[in-house]
Chain A
Amino acid sequence: MIAYILWIAVMVLTAPLFLSLIKMIKMWLLFKKPLSPLQGYRDFSKLLSKEVLISQEASAITHIAPYMVLAPLVVVLFLLPPPSAKSFFISFTDAFTLTGLVALSSFFLMLLGLDSASSFGGIGSSREAFISALVEPAMILVIFALSLMAKNLGVAQATINLAHHFPIEHLASFAFAGIAFFILLIAENGRIPVDNPETHLELTMVHEAMILDISGWYLALVESAAAIKFMIFASLFVSFFMPFGMDAPFLVALLIFLLKVAFVAILVALIEVNTAKLRLFKVPNLLGLAIIFAFLSLISYYILGA
């Protein structure tokens, strides 16, 4: 139980670190002077000390939505697969619930975008609605395939099953599911081929456009939601697709887990540096690719396995 609490605390505390890490690697690769990995914490503490500026046109939704954006993601954090096979986990939830909670968070984020009567907010919400509608089927299909390979839909139990009996005969479907999930990781977190988290140019904004009109404490909540969301997807990716090192003693397992998440962050940074952002109407092609890989994973599982 103590290990569980320690692990949650570590995940919450390191969440901003990995986003800063991505930024740092990108700047370094572009021959810029890299920013400190602690920049995420600095931004957070700066936002805490600032006052909240609320738009006159905004309604109660602006006061509710930031909490509802962060809260489901925090709940998801408590339900994630543990880094060590022996540690405690909450068993009465499953992968559908996790995707549902993530969707609940983005539902309120989209409402936040429409609340301040600014057309930037609308543009962001509209694009987010479009992208997340296409992410949903790929996500559910990947979960379907994984639940077959891991013999359980509960994410924690599934990870432990995978760590103990890795279905080596289904390596093909496993790889397909991995590719599909990685595309989803990029799309859900608004990383480069889908959305550019660094610009404020109306042609490219998705996530940034929705949160343009909030500030201070509320912006801190939404920014930490983004960091936690990356943490959730990265940790799901590493526990499903890199299920090793879980039998080590807890602290070692935790360290291995953090290294794996850092590896995902580096991978994302490399992709960001090497690709251009897609036009909005080309994004469905990428997501279609994810859907096709998810289907391939399921079909190859059925054809080879059963």
Chain B
Amino acid sequence: MFTFDTLSLLFVLFLALGVVPNIFYAWGYMDHIERKGHFLVHYLSFILSMLGVVLSNTPLAFLFFWEIMSLTSWQLILANAHEKGTLPAARLYFFMTHFGFVFILLFFLITSDGNLSLSFSELHAIAAHFPYPTLLFFLLVLGFLSKAGVVPMHVWLPYAHPAAPSAVSALMSGVMLKIALYGFLRMLLEVLYPWHLEWGVVVLIIGAISSLIGVLYALSEHDMKALLANHSIENIGIILIAFGMGMIFGSLHLPLLSAFAFIAGLYHIFNHMSFKSLLFMSAGAVLHQTHTKNIEKYGSLIKTMPITAANFLFAAVSISALPPTNGFLSEWMIFQSLLGSSSISDIILKISIPFTVFALALTGGLAIACFVKAFGITFLGLHRSHNAKHAHEVNRLMQIGMLSMAAVVLALMLFAPLFLHLFDDALVPFGLSDITGRITPTFWSIHSIAHNGGVVSPLFLTFALAVVVFALDYAAKLLGVRSRSHRTWACGYRTNAKMQYTATGFAGPIRRFFAWLYRPEVHFHKKTVAGHTTKFTSALYDVHIKPLFEASLYEGTKKALNVISYWVYRLGHFEQVRYGAIIFNLMLSVLFGYRIIAHHFSWATLVLEAVILIASIKILVIGDKE
């Protein structure tokens, strides 16, 4: 029923690191929650169910805890049910999470041959006999990665995470998404191996697209928490790039590079948990004080909320993958494993992988832009609303929560080689190589496994930066720098909040460059003075962006389903016999489909069954009209 192997224990550590600071924070956040009993019951059972998922060893236990995890988090989104937008968000989340559940269930039903109480290690033999392993792989992708929120199954994420209370957003974005990746990884390592080369390429492409789409929509977002949720999509994409490279190297028999890529992926899982939780916590603190999620209504908060601002800045530097933080280290490792692609002998694959390098690097650049915007508009400048003016620092418990999560980020950064050791130990029992000695020969540096790779040392970088900063500060003291303060020069006018750059304006050049993707809807109204085009008394500029995937894929599917259901309804025509015939045909097609998938496939039976199906539809359902 339960297992305590290395990978499970690693994720127990992961949960401990992610959950303990969160409990302090949630404790401090309680006064913001209306239904306290409801919240506590679901919050605690959410945490316990995640623990159950990582420890369970049979499909039955896994599915049970997985479903509890989905349902409790769904209830947690509904904690402030009367707020606008919460109900549709919860409904979408409920639908998407069960959409994924169906595929996970199908995967387990096929690989366990119906006996869900077998242990995971026994599933491999059954899965190996299944004639279409690629089908199983796609079931895994649809099942686990829809929960992890990769493009194009990410649409629920920017709605569901902001709707939840901030402590829960931190837990969902930081921890729960990674539990889905844990499931994906465990199934790949324990049930569905050896991997085909194409699977790795699929995972790599999904990862590259998710990372770019995630960061681009994050940039155009005005809602602070939706911005962070979009960044989760990006980071899940980055983790999947690492896993994809690991699978590609694994299927090409390059075991060292494969182990390195998987370690990089696991490291980024831990890092993303730490800095994303910290970001959600400090964004939640801002929301707690200003009562708005709109980034344009913040400003100047660093003066009144210095601890929150410092935490946000630290996490922002880390998520933007800037040295010497942990976000940089794991992205560095992922770049190194992409560099390792030069050892691949297949020339087509070798030439294609630089496109992933391009995607990942562009993602990094855009993430910097996005977090300059998020930090700069929120915490710097002048306050843009009354709420922001009257904000003050949050209570002690929330501060403890944030500071302890910052400590987790710091630990992951300074003791990176020790953590890498741990990740390698967790993966070795699953048949990956032991490369600890190669990548972390000393406790202060990380080496690349690629033959043209490099070295990085977090301790050295931190130390060097600190020394230089202190030396410069000392020089300032020696020089006796005097200072005086005066208001900002605004060309003769008084500086005021309306003169500042807005978040919309900040992202303007990037939005204009990617207009083909965003297709922004611009509303621009101004009252001009006496027919002048350039003189006006008031102006309003507003940009709305409807995410492309929602507008095309999801709206399109909705329309198609409406057309089909209308067609079925017309066929049925309120006659019981016809409804009966439709149900009979549906069962027939399911049975035939099962026969074709699960048993021996031959064209003769396919044709025969198709003829039977078409004939019965013609005779029973459509009948002879007119």
Chain A interface (Cβ within 8 Å of chain B)? 48, 51-61, 67-68, 70-72, 74-75, 78, 91-97, 100-101, 103-104, 106-107, 110-111, 113-119, 121-123, 125-127, 129-130, 132-137, 139-141, 144, 147-148, 150-154, 213, 216-217, 221, 280-281, 284, 291, 295, 298-299, 302-303, 306
Give the residue of A75, A96, A141, A221 whose beta carbon is less than 8 angstroms from that of B354.
A141
User: Is B302 touching A153 in the complex (CB atoms < 8 A)?
Assistant: no
Interface string of B486-515 (1 = CB under 8 A from A): 111110000101011100011111101100
| Minimum Cβ distance to chain B for residue A222 (Å) | 12
Most buried by A among B347, B468, B482, B490: B468
13 intermolecular pairs with C-beta atoms under 8 Å apart:
A75-B468, A91-B455, A93-B454, A104-B322, A111-B372, A118-B499, A130-B369, A132-B368, A137-B357, A144-B354, A147-B452, A150-B452, A295-B354
Complexed CA–CA distance, A280 and B512 (Å): 11
Q: Chain A residues with Cβ under 8 A from B392's Cβ? A: none
Pick the interface stretch among B89-97, B253-261, B277-285, B458-466: B458-466
A275 to chain B, nearest CB (A): 21
In this assembly, does B243 line the interface, its C-beta being within 8 Å of a C-beta of chain A? no
B contacts with A, residue count (CB < 8 A)? 82
The distance from the CB of A48 to the nearest CB of chain B, in whole angstroms, is 6
- Cβ-closest chain A residue relative to B358: A137
Which residues does chain A contribute within 8 Å of B509, judged by CB atoms? 126-127, 129-130, 280-281
Which of B323, B381, B501 is in CB contact (< 8 Å) with A104? B323
Query: Roughly how many angstroms separate A52 CA and B358 CA in the complex, as a whole number?
Result: 42
Q: Are A122 and B513 neighbours in the complex by a CB distance under 8 Å?
A: no
A117-B499, A132-B365 as given contacts; A126 in contact with B505, CB under 8 Å: yes
Contact call A154/B454, Cβ cutoff below 8 A: yes
Partner of B455, one of A93, A101, A107: A93
- Given A153-B454, A299-B351: A119 in contact with B342 (beta carbons within 8 A): no
A148 touches B342 (CB 8 A): yes
Q: Check if B373 is an interface residue, CB within 8 A of chain A.
A: yes
Q: Give the CA-CA distance A237 to B350 in the complex, in Å.
A: 27
Q: Kindly list chain B residues whose C-beta atoms are within 8 Å of the C-beta of A134.
A: 362, 365
For A68, list chain B residues within 8 Å (CB).
469
A97 and B332 in contact, given A67-B469, A127-B509 (Cβ under 8 angstroms): yes
Partner of B382, one of A54, A93, A107, A117: A117
Do A56 and B488 form a contact, CB below 8 Å, given A117-B497, A153-B448?
yes
If A53-B484, A111-B375 touch, whether A74 touches B468 (CB-CB below 8 Å) is: yes
Residue of B336, B338, B362, B484 touching A137 (CB-CB under 8 A): B362
Do A111 and B380 have beta carbons less than 8 Å apart? yes
Complex Cα gap A117–B486 (Å): 13
Q: A117-B382, A299-B351 are in contact. Are A133 and B362 (CB under 8 A)?
A: yes
Q: Are A71 and B365 in contact (CB under 8 A)?
A: no
Known: A119-B499, A302-B347. Is A130-B513 also a contact (CB below 8 A)?
yes
Q: Are A291 and B358 in contact (CB under 8 A)?
A: yes
With an 8 A cutoff between CB atoms, is B421 at the interface?
no
Bound Cα distance from A306 to B351, whole angstroms: 11
Which of B364, B453, B469, B488 sits near A136, CB closer than 8 Å? B364
Q: Does B538 contact A (CB under 8 A)?
A: no
Instruction: Flag whether B457 is at the interface (Cβ < 8 A).
Output: yes
* Structural contact, A148 and B452, CB atoms closer than 8 A: yes
Question: In the complex, how many angstroms separate the beta carbon of A145 from the nearest chain B beta carbon?
Answer: 9
Report if A51-B488 is in contact (Cβ < 8 Å); known contacts: A72-B465, A137-B365: no
Whole-angstrom distance between the Cβ of B278 and the nearest chain A Cβ:
17
Interchain CB contact under 8 A, A144 and B357: yes
